[in-house]
Chains A and B, each alone.
Chain A
Amino acid sequence: MLLIHCPYCEEERPELEFRHAGEAHIARPENIAEISDEEFQRYFFIRANPKGVTFERWRHMHGCGRFFNAARDTVSDRFLMTYMAGEPKPDLGKAGGGAVRSASRKGTPA
Chain B
Amino acid sequence: MIQPFRLTTGRLDAAEILRFTFDGKSYTGLAGDTLASALLANGVHLVGRSFKYHRPRGILSAGAEEPNALVGIHRDAARKTPNVRATVQELYDGLAAVSQNRWPSLGFDVGGLNNLGAPFFSAGFYYKTFMWPRTAWERLYEPIIRRAAGLGTAPDRPDPDHYSNRFAHCDVLVVGGGAAGLAAALAASETGARVILADEQAVPGGGLRFETGAVIDGKPGWEWAQETAAKLAARDNVRLLTRTTGFGYYAQNMLGLVERLTDHLSAPDVDQPRERLWQVRAKRVVLATGAIERHMVFPGNDRPGIMLASAARAYLNHFGVAVGSKVAVYTADDSAYATAVDLKKRGVEVAAVIDLRPTPRGPHVEESRELGIEVLAGHAVVGTTGRLRVRRIEVAPVYGGASRQIEADALATSSGWTPAVHLFSQSRGKLAFDEETRRFLPGQYVQDALSVGACNGTASLTDAVEEALRAGAKAAKEAGAAKGRSKTVKLDARSPEAWSAGMAGAAPGAEAGKKAMAFVDFQNDVTAKDIRQAVQEGMRSIEHVKRFTTAGMATDQGKTSNLHALTIASEMLGKPVPKVGLTTFRPPYTPVTFGALVGHSRGALFEPTRRTPTHAWAEAQGAVFEDVGQWKRAWYFPQGGEDMHAAVARECLTVRHSAGIFDASTLGKIEIVGPDAARFMELMYTNPWQKLGIGRCRYGIMLREDGFIYDDGVVGRLAEDRFHVTTTTGGAPRVLHHMEDYLQTEFPDLKVWLTSTSEQWATIAVQGPKSRDIIAPLVEGIDLSDEAMPHMSVREGRVCGVPARLFRISFTGERGFEINVPADYGLSVWEAVWAEGQKHGACAYGTETMHVLRAEKGFIIVGQDTDGTVTPDDAGLAWAIGRKKTDFVGIRGLERPDLKAPERRQLVGLKTSDPKTVLEEGAQIVADPNQPVPMKMIGFVTSSYWSENCGRSIALALVEGGRERMGERLYVPMPEDAIEVEVVPMVFFDEKGERTNG
Instruction: List the interface of chain A (C-beta within 8 A of B).
Output: 1-3, 19, 21, 27-28, 32-33, 35, 37, 40, 44, 57, 59, 61, 65-67, 76-78, 85-86
Residues of B within 8 A of A67 (CB): 740-741, 744-745
Beta-carbon nearest neighbor of B891 in chain A = A33
Number of A-B contacts (CB under 8 A): 53
Task: Say whether, besides A57-B745, A77-B251, A85-B745, A32 and B887 are in contact (CB < 8 Å).
Answer: yes
Residues of A within 8 A of B891 (CB): 32-33
Q: Using an 8 Å CB-CB cutoff, how does the interface string of B519-542 with A read, 1 for contact, 0 for none?
A: 000000000000000000000000
Residues of B within 8 A of A86 (CB): 745, 748
Q: Does B463 contact A (CB under 8 A)?
A: no
Q: Does B896 contact A (CB under 8 A)?
A: yes
B893 touches A85 (CB 8 A): no
Residues of B within 8 A of A59 (CB): 737, 740-741
A35 touches B741 (CB 8 A): no
A33 touches B887 (CB 8 A): yes
- Give, as a whole number of angstroms, the nearest-CB distance from B664 to chain A: 26
Q: Does B746 contact A (CB under 8 A)?
A: yes
- Give, as a whole number of angstroms, the nearest-CB distance from B822 to chain A: 23
* Docked CA distance A39–B428 (Å): 39
Interface positions of B from 730 to 753, Cβ below 8 Å from A = 737, 740-741, 744-746, 748
B748 touches A28 (CB 8 A): no
Among B281, B428, B886, which residue has its beta carbon within 8 angstroms of that of A33?
Answer: B886
B250 touches A1 (CB 8 A): yes
Closest 10 CB pairs of A and B: A77-B251, A32-B892, A67-B744, A28-B746, A33-B891, A3-B252, A85-B745, A67-B745, A2-B251, A40-B892
Residues of B within 8 A of A44 (CB): 705-706, 893
* Docked CA distance A98–B891 (Å): 41
Beta-carbon nearest neighbor of A41 in chain B = B896
* Docked CA distance A67–B741 (Å): 7
Q: How many residues of B contact A (CB 8 A)?
A: 25
Q: Does B460 contact A (CB under 8 A)?
A: no
Among A1, A21, A78, which residue has its beta carbon within 8 angstroms of that of B741?
Answer: A21
Interface positions of B from 691 to 730, Cβ below 8 Å from A = 705-706
Task: Say whether, besides A32-B887, A76-B446, A3 and B281 are in contact (CB < 8 Å).
Answer: yes
A85 touches B744 (CB 8 A): yes
Q: Does B307 contact A (CB under 8 A)?
A: no
Q: Does B279 contact A (CB under 8 A)?
A: yes
Beta-carbon nearest neighbor of B740 in chain A = A65
B252 touches A2 (CB 8 A): yes
Q: Does B286 contact A (CB under 8 A)?
A: no
Residues of B within 8 A of A28 (CB): 705, 746
Q: Using an 8 Å CB-CB cutoff, how does the interface string of B424-456 with A read, 1 for contact, 0 for none?
A: 000010000000000000000010000000000
Residues of A within 8 A of B705 (CB): 28, 44
- Give, as a whole number of angstroms, the nearest-CB distance from A45 to chain B: 9
Interface positions of B from 256 to 313, Cβ below 8 Å from A = 279, 281
Residues of A within 8 A of B748 (CB): 85-86
B892 touches A33 (CB 8 A): yes
Instruction: List the interface of chain B (C-beta within 8 A of A).
Output: 250-252, 254, 279, 281, 428, 446, 705-706, 737, 740-741, 744-746, 748, 886-887, 891-893, 895-897
* Docked CA distance A79–B741 (Å): 22
- Give, as a whole number of angstroms, the nearest-CB distance from A33 to chain B: 5
**Chain B contact residues: helix, strand, loop or mixed:** mixed
* Docked CA distance A1–B737 (Å): 23
* Docked CA distance A10–B446 (Å): 25
- Give, as a whole number of angstroms, the nearest-CB distance from B431 to chain A: 16
* Docked CA distance A64–B892 (Å): 32
B428 touches A35 (CB 8 A): no
* Docked CA distance A35–B887 (Å): 12
Q: 8 extra interchain contacts, Cβ-Cβ under 8 A, other than A1-B250, A3-B252?
A: A1-B252, A19-B737, A21-B741, A40-B896, A59-B740, A59-B741, A77-B251, A86-B745
* Docked CA distance A21–B742 (Å): 12
Residues of B within 8 A of A61 (CB): 737
* Docked CA distance A67–B887 (Å): 23
Residues of B within 8 A of A37 (CB): 896-897
* Docked CA distance A76–B886 (Å): 44
A76 touches B281 (CB 8 A): no
* Docked CA distance A66–B279 (Å): 27
Residues of B within 8 A of A77 (CB): 251-252
Beta-carbon nearest neighbor of A37 in chain B = B896
Residues of B within 8 A of A65 (CB): 740
Beta-carbon nearest neighbor of B281 in chain A = A3
* Docked CA distance A78–B445 (Å): 13
* Docked CA distance A27–B737 (Å): 18
- Give, as a whole number of angstroms, the nearest-CB distance from B284 to chain A: 15
Beta-carbon nearest neighbor of B251 in chain A = A77
Among A1, A19, A35, which residue has its beta carbon within 8 angstroms of that of B254?
Answer: A1
- Give, as a whole number of angstroms, the nearest-CB distance from A26 to chain B: 10
- Of the listed residues A1, A61, A78, A86, the one surrounded by the most CB atoms of chain B closer than 10 A to its CB is A1
A66 touches B744 (CB 8 A): yes
B428 touches A40 (CB 8 A): no
* Docked CA distance A96–B722 (Å): 47
Residues of B within 8 A of A3 (CB): 252, 281
* CB<8 Å pairs between A and B, sample of 23: A1-B251, A1-B254, A2-B252, A21-B741, A27-B746, A32-B887, A33-B886, A33-B887, A33-B891, A33-B892, A35-B892, A37-B897, A40-B892, A61-B737, A65-B740, A66-B744, A67-B744, A67-B745, A76-B428, A77-B251, A77-B252, A78-B252, A85-B748
Residues of B within 8 A of A66 (CB): 744
* Docked CA distance A76–B893 (Å): 36
- Give, as a whole number of angstroms, the nearest-CB distance from A80 to chain B: 13
- Give, as a whole number of angstroms, the nearest-CB distance from B686 to chain A: 13
Residues of A within 8 A of B896 (CB): 37, 40
* Docked CA distance A19–B737 (Å): 10
- Give, as a whole number of angstroms, the nearest-CB distance from B883 to chain A: 12
Beta-carbon nearest neighbor of B894 in chain A = A33
Residues of B within 8 A of A57 (CB): 745
Residues of A within 8 A of B887 (CB): 32-33
* Docked CA distance A32–B744 (Å): 18
- Give, as a whole number of angstroms, the nearest-CB distance from A74 to chain B: 12
- Of the listed residues A2, A21, A32, the one surrounded by the most CB atoms of chain B closer than 10 A to its CB is A32
- Give, as a whole number of angstroms, the nearest-CB distance from B966 to chain A: 33
Residues of A within 8 A of B897 (CB): 37
* Docked CA distance A44–B887 (Å): 16
Residues of A within 8 A of B279 (CB): 1
Beta-carbon nearest neighbor of B742 in chain A = A28
- Give, as a whole number of angstroms, the nearest-CB distance from B998 to chain A: 40
* Docked CA distance A61–B734 (Å): 11
- Give, as a whole number of angstroms, the nearest-CB distance from A56 to chain B: 13
- Give, as a whole number of angstroms, the nearest-CB distance from A23 to chain B: 12
* Docked CA distance A65–B250 (Å): 26
* Docked CA distance A66–B281 (Å): 25
* Docked CA distance A28–B892 (Å): 11
Residues of B within 8 A of A27 (CB): 746
Residues of B within 8 A of A1 (CB): 250-252, 254, 279
Residues of B within 8 A of A19 (CB): 737
* Docked CA distance A40–B893 (Å): 8
- Of the listed residues B251, B279, B886, B896, the one surrounded by the most CB atoms of chain A closer than 10 A to its CB is B251
* Docked CA distance A59–B733 (Å): 13
* Docked CA distance A57–B935 (Å): 45
Beta-carbon nearest neighbor of A77 in chain B = B251
* Docked CA distance A50–B705 (Å): 24
- Give, as a whole number of angstroms, the nearest-CB distance from B947 to chain A: 41
Beta-carbon nearest neighbor of B706 in chain A = A44
- Give, as a whole number of angstroms, the nearest-CB distance from A31 to chain B: 9
- Give, as a whole number of angstroms, the nearest-CB distance from A104 to chain B: 16
* Docked CA distance A65–B756 (Å): 12
